[in-house]
Structure formats: C-alpha cells, structure tokens
Structure 1
Amino acid sequence: MSEIRLSTVLGPAFHLLARDVFQHGHTHYDLSGGRGSLKSSCVSLLVPLILLTNKGTHALVLRKVANTIRDSVYAQYLWAIGELGMADYWEAKVQPMELIYKPTGQKIMFRGADDPMKIKSIKVPFGYIAVTHFEEKDQFAGRAEIRTILQSTMRGGSKFWNFESYNPPISRDNWANKDSLEERADRLCHKSTYLEAPPEWLGEQFLREAEYLKETDERAYQHEYLGIPVGTGGNVFENIDVRELTDEEVSAFDRICNGVDWGYFPDPWAFNRCHYDAARRVLYIFDELTRNKMGNQETANLLLEKGLTREDRIVADSAEPKSVADYKKFGLHCTGAIKGPGSVEYSMKWLQSLKSIVIDPKRCPDTCEEFMEYEYERTKDGDIISGYPDRDNHHIDAVRYATEPIWRRPGQQAKNTYIPLYARR
C-alpha cells in the first residue's frame, strides 16, 4: 500500500499522526472527537498497514460488549480494507470474528471485554499481538480495566501500538475525559472534529444536520459535533425541565406515543405517555402509571380505563412476548420494541441530545424522580463510568420504548444497527 493511496482515504487531520504511528513515535494513541471526526476511520485504516509493515504481528480490536461488534467496529474495518484496495487479500470470518491477511496469516481479531477470560485465552498461530484498539474507550470501566487487558496482550514482542478512540462523554467528570488530560511520555492525544474532514466525505445532509443543531441548541452541538464535554456532574440527563403542564397544553398534543416496561415485584410495571415536538426537539412526558403485583389483565384494564383503544399504539419491552400478546388479546394495540445491539446507548443519547425533556411533576411524580436522580456509575475512586445503570429506570425504559419509532432510523428492523458509522469515526 503506497503512501499516496493512504493519503487519499485518510482524513487530512490525521496525516501527521499517521507518520508518528509508522515511525513508532509513541506506544499509546488517544483519539477523541465528535460525530464525523473520522477518528475511528483513521484507526481502522492504520491498523492493517501496521501489520503489513511488521511481519509476525497481529491486532486485537475490543469493545466493551461483544454483541455490538459486528455491525460497528467489524464493519468499520471491512470498510477500511476496501478503501485501501486490499479486500481481495483479506479473509473475513465471523466465527470467531476476525480478518486474516491471506499472504501471511496475520490476524485482526475482534472481541468483547464482557468476557475477560476469552481475552486472556486468546492464542495467535505465530508471533504476538502488537496492536490493540479500544473502540468507544469511555464504555470501559475505567483505566484499570484497560490496563488489565493490556497486561495480557502486551507481551512476547518488541514493539506495541495501543489505540483508544471515543466520543467524549458529556460530563467532564467522566473517567475517559479526565484520563485523556493526564500527560505521559509514551502517549499521543489527538482531538478532531467534522470541521477538519473533507465536506464531500460527510455529505450535505450531515452538514445540514450539524448546522441546524448549532442554530437550535448550541450546547448539544458543542458536545455531539465538537466533542466538548459540556456537563459538570454525574447526572445522565441535564436537559430536564420540571414544570406543570396545563390542560390546554396537553389537549393540544397530537404526536402522542405510549410505552410500557413490564414488571411485577420488586420491579414495578411502568407506563408513560409522551408528546414529541420535532420542530423544537422537545419531549413532553405528561402521564404515567406505576404498579406492583399486578398481572397483564389488570394493567391492561388500567390502560383501557384511561381511554386507550386499538388506535393508540403502545411499544413495550419485547423481552416478554407473552405479555405483548396478552395486551393484544385484551384489545390494546401493543407491539414489542425492536431493541437490538446498541439500542440502549443510542436511545439514551437521543434523549440526552434533546433541547429539553419536559416532565410534569404532578402528573408524573415517579417519572420525574427517576429522570432527576438517574446518575452514571462511578469507579471506587469517584470517576464517572460511561454506560447506563440498569436500575431505578423503569419509566426511563418506558419512555425509550414509547419514543422508539421516533429515534430509530428507518429500515433498521433487520439488523438493528442504531448508530451510523460516521458517528463513530
């Protein structure tokens, strides 16, 4: 692969970084940036070339959760190999998930950190693992988890490259944001934005969306597109607007969505009604029900008493297909959420990106409490960890299900790929 070819597919903002990589100027490379910053594209283009210029080496690409790999970072590397004009020289396998360079047998392996034993047991046919890539660095449970993995992989060789790429979380207290500020001689930190990418690579629609958000919500634009941590604390939702809604306001709502999170005891059954103002990017949550120890017939009756009919679509947790079927039998228009790998992360980020989430504290006291008190987890040292705790979030889940037809991109029912590749690069 010639240097000329690489320069035509690698973003201009990364040319000096690429030179440093091939000269092995550093061991660790920290790449952060907002949507369209091309950081993940950069790493996926460089890693295959590192292997080709260093015989006997292999690469390991990691995400926190294994079931998010195939439609994200694995697809990203397939794209990169194609862009480099090398597709015919690589064999793509999914069991196990890896790319094999046919002339030498060198491998790019893909694994999830949710099974540490599988990482420790990785064996390569020859040589050693010289390259690691932690995609979505902030999803890992702090520097300690990454260090533990590297202690298993950085052995048996003379040269190593470790890449960590991520979109900076909204909170400045997040461990990943704080970690990138720490200076170490063997690490190069690189920040990029979509403004440094060739506009034709991103497309007119991407640029229009960025400009629209800049005009309508400067704070969200700074975080999503410029990669600036604009939050200061541990609250997941910093766009909550708690206020009472008048009957006149509620009567004017015309884009209503309904969601149910199944539960019995101790986890409750939760229901929410919402209205989404797309023009202003404001979500209104104006009704709720919370019950313990009630069966499907009883909760269905509660919704029928509220006036819901077959015309009112309810999106519920698809993990209980029998409950969905029961609601249909009881006369409700209930469908299971599509969900899939990445859906929780994408839907939560969508909620966080809204200009505001208006919650009526009198109509929805339980929902208000959940949204206001929902916080990121922290390490034992008090640093925030990205990811969303699966507790005390029953109404939050009901709202996610209710709004799924809004935030889910069209045509994704088959693969459930929620985050566009350009948002990861």
Structure 2
Amino acid sequence: MVAIQKEVNPHFEDFLFDWNQKFQFLVGGYGSSKSYHVAFKLILKLLSEKRTALVVREVYDTHRDSTFSLLEEIINDLGLSHKIRCGSSPMQVKFPNGSKIIFKGMDKPAKLKSINNVSLIWLEECSEIKYAGFKELLGRLRHPSLKLHMILSTNPIGEDNWTFLHFFKDERNKRIVLDDQDLYKERTVVVGDTYYHHSTADDNLFLPESYIEQLDEMKDYDPDLHRIAREGRFGVNGKRVLPQFSERPHEEVMEAIRRLRDPIERVGMDFGFEDSYNAVIRMVVDHKKKYLYIYWQYYKNHMTDDRTVVELDEFKKSRELIIADSAEPKTIQYFKQEGFRMKGAVKFGGSRLANTKKVKRFKKIICSSDCPDVIRELKYLTYKEDKNGNIIPDEFKTDPHTFSAIWYGLDGYEVSDLKGGSVSVLKPR
C-alpha cells in the first residue's frame, strides 16, 4: 500500500473511507468538490484492492475533459504518475496491483456488453443518464468475491428526474425513501444500503471567495439556478406554470368549500387510453376571491368506455354536468346514451394558450391531499423552452391530463381580468 498524504475538505473525510453501503449518492451545488472527492476515493480504493472500476457518463466523449482529466490531475498531484498509468487512447487508468479504471458512455450501449467483473461503478452527472441506463448498469455490477459498490454524483435537477424519484420520493407510486429536506439538514444520511451526502460551495475550503460571490448573485437574476448551483437542492427545474398552486389536507379544503356563499361547481374530463389517462376533476370556484379549489379526482388508463361508465356511475346518479374534451364526440355520445350529462368543451385556435392563461389568473389554486395525481402533475408543472431558452407558453415538459380536465371543466367561465375590467361568469347549461 502506497503511503498517501493529501489535504481534503473536512465534510468529505468520512466519505472517503466509508464503504459500508452498496450505493453512495452525492448531490450538491456547483464547486462543492464532490466529483473531486469521488475520484480521490476511487484511487484510494483501487490502490488498496485489486478491482476493475467503471466510470460512466451519458456521453462518452465528455469523459476526456471531466472524469479522466480529474483522475489524471489527482494522480499527478499525489506524485504517483510513475506508478499509475493514464492512457488516453482508449481512456484507461492502470494501477501497479492490477486494478484498472475504464470509461464508458451510455450513448454507446453496445460497448457495455464486453465488460466483466466490474465491482465498482461511478455514475458522474447521473441525472443525465436515463433510468433504463441506471438499471442496465446494475446488471453489469457483479463480481464473484468482492463487495459491490455504485457511486452516483450529480447536481440537483427537477423532482421529476429519476434520481429524485428513485432515491428520495415518488409520490405517484406512494414510495418515500428519504425526505430530501432531512438530507439538507443532516448533510449525511444512511438509509438501508444507501449512503447520502449533500454538499455546497461552502464545503470546499479551496474555492476563491469571488466564486462564491458569483453563486450568491444568481439569487437576484435566476432563483432556480441559485437553488441548484448555490444551495444544491432539488426542486422545480424551469419556470412553473402554476406558482400559486398549493396542497392542503382534504378536510381543510372541504371546510373552505362549505363556507363559500356562492360556489361555482364544475367537473371536467380528459379522455385517454394507452399512454394518456381518463382524468375527471371536481372543482369549486370562489369567484369573489378568485380561488380555485380542487377536491376530487378520477385518474386511470387502459379503461374501455363501458368499464369507465360503471366506475363513474355516481355522476349519472347525481346528474352533475361533465364538460369533456370535444375532440372525442363518439365517446361523449356514448356517455350521454348511458345516462350521463356530458357536453364537449369549446375548442378554437389558440384555446390551449387561452385556457392556460385563464387558470393562471386564479390568485390561489388549492388542491386536496386526496388528489395525488393532480398534485403530481401540477405542483411542479413547467413550461417547455425553445432553442434560445424562451418559454413556449402553451407547451409543457410533461403531458398533464388533469390540467386538460380543469381546462374543460372551466369552459364558459372567466376569471375577472386582473387589470380591473369586469368579465362575465357563464353558468354551464
């Protein structure tokens, strides 16, 4: 074993020598030194044990100026370049005890099939790798005798990214592994066979103060990037469509609805089958305050119309009017023949944008905790962007079926113009 002396950041000292868990997940802001310490940890491990380590990024060619360059820099800094050989064609690092580091990209998946006896994998910028790729790599992590390890490092991204859904919270599937807020508070957490580590630029004692000042300035001109780069926290990745959206306990929402003097009750439905969903939303408008309450949902796919009418039988009994997607006239006619009160929403050129603007005019959108799919789709709904980074006002990064149901349900209703002009409120016929 080569004797090594190296000054490191105190927040990473325990991490460097902790190999108790199979998975090690590092998330942090810009300049926190997480990638540096992962690279150093790999070198220490491969010097002490004969292993083959695989370093993966989404695109192979990005290794040369990132992971490979970083490992080479650390090896030179340690004065070990005469013992540890860094070859550039192909990129590979070879150790005197037979250990080696190989580099692969998920953009060339065929190259993964030739890998054998890999006992240690580092996924750098793992949020850029697809979930299917992560699961494929798990299958490549195998060795007859050595303990297996996978290190994942990333800057935080949106809460809809697989890294957050897998390692933290997947509300749609009611799966909670770790509340990310607990990680930000504790800084390191162990849950089962996963070691979590959070870091920011403050943890890197070697950063110049001017760099941290640049990160701090982001708060004034780009709060989302500040959250990612300076605070190292997951959240909304992009501009939110409905920043006034909030979730409340069901009974609290129902009590607020019961107190309304002149509630406007609406039901909207979006149709779907294969990749999309049948979404039905019950909501109430407080026209005076300009509040929208959402308190009931139906959300299923792979449902034929005859099965759906059975599951929605309560609407036939209550005679509630359902305003649905007019692009499906045959389905609407079928529901009407089955005894439902249903009509199609008016569609016109630009109706997507008009409907989006209508919903955005509500001062508050308050959703019951009993509507998990509404919360999942709308809480972090963000706009798509064009190639110049400008938002596309009627396109979103996901396909929110509950949002479409809300559009249709509010057909004929207009929120008062925020500039002060009076706008009529139309009752559904």
Give the TM-score normalised by structure 1: 0.51
Aligned partners of 1:236 and 1:375 also within 8 Å: no
How many residue pairs get aligned? The number is: 239
**Residue 375 of structure 1 aligns with which residue?**
397
Question: Take 2:63 and 2:45, find their aligned partners in 1: how far apart are those partners?
Answer: 21
Given candidates 27, 32, 36, the residue that maps to 1:32 is: 27
Change over 3 Å in CA distance of 1:369–1:91 after alignment to 2? closer
3-state secondary structure, aligned to 1:158: coil
1:44 aligns with 2:39: yes
Within a 5 Å distance, the mapping from 1:406-421 to structure 2 comes to none
1:177 counterpart = 2:164 = yes
AA paired with 1:81? I
Contact map agreement 1:236 1:374 (CA 8 A) in 2? no
- 2:148 corresponding residue in structure 1: 160
Question: Amino acid of the residue matched to residue 185 of structure 1?
Answer: G
Judging changes above 3 Å, is the alpha-carbon distance between structure 1 residues 377 and 87 closer, same or farther for their aligned structure 2 residues?
farther
C-alpha distance in 1 between matches for 2:198 and 2:389: 37
Q: CA deviation at 1:374?
A: 5.3
**Bigger RCO (CA 8 Å, 6+ sep):** 1
SS in 2 for 1:46: helix
Residue deviations 1:303-351, cap 9 Å, x none? xxxxxxxxxxxxxxxxxxxxxxxxxxxxxxxxxxxxxxxxxxxxxxxxx
* Pair 1:17 & 2:20 matched: no
Corresponding residue of 1:107: 100
Question: What are the equivalent positions in structure 2 for 1:110-125 lying under 5 Å apart?
Answer: 110-123=103-116
Secondary structure of the 1:190 match is strand
Secondary structure of the corresponding residue to residue 51 of structure 1:
helix
Residue 4 of structure 1: CA displacement?
Answer: 6.7
SS of alignment partner, residue 31 of structure 1: strand
Supply the distance in 2 between the matched residues of 1:367 and 1:91 (Cα, whole angstroms).
Answer: 42
Paired position in structure 1 for 2:298: none
Matched-pair contact (CA < 8 Å) for 1:97–1:111: no
Change (3 A) 1:376 1:29: farther
How has the CA–CA distance of structure 1 residues 373 and 151 changed in structure 2, closer, same or farther, with 3 Å as cutoff? same
Larger radius of gyration: 2
Deviation at 1:237, TM superposition (A): 4.7
Query: What's the offset of the Cα at 1:68?
Result: 1.3
Residue aligning to 2:193: 186
Instruction: Provide the TM-score with structure 2 as the length reference.
Output: 0.50
* Whole-angstrom CA distance in 2 between matches of 1:104 and 1:152: 23
Structure 1 counterpart of 2:81, from 79, 83, 87: 87
- Relative to 1, partners in 2 of residues 1:35 and 1:185: Cα closer, same or farther, differing over 3 Å? same
Is residue 2:127 matched to residue 1:138? Answer: yes
Helix, strand or coil at the partner of 2:38: helix
Q: Give the CA deviation at 1:44.
A: 0.2
218 and 139 in structure 1: CA distance in 2 versus 1, 3 angstrom threshold = closer
Q: Which residue of 2 aligns with 1:294?
A: none
Q: Secondary structure at the match of 2:85?
A: strand
| Residues 118, 140 of structure 2: 8 Å contact kept | no
1:236-315 alignment, distance < 5 Å: 236-238=238-240
> Which residue of 38, 41, 57 maps to 1:63?
57
* 1:410 aligned residue: none
Give the partner amino acid of 1:153: L
The 1:15–1:3 alpha-carbon spacing in structure 2 relative to 1, beyond 3 Å, is farther
Post-superposition offset of 1:225: 1.6
Q: CA RMSD in A?
A: 3.2
- 1: CA distance, partners of 2:202 / 2:61: 32
Instruction: Say which SS state the counterpart of residue 373 (structure 1) adopts.
Output: strand
Matched letter for residue 166 of structure 1: T
Aligned residue number for residue 72 of structure 2 = 78
2-structure distance, mates of 1:204, 1:58: 38
Instruction: Say whether the 8 Å CA contact 2:224–2:238 is kept in structure 1.
Output: no
Q: In structure 1, list runs of 5 or more residues that go unmatched.
A: 241-356, 379-425
Q: Structure 1 CA distance, aligned partners of 2:223 and 2:239?
A: 17
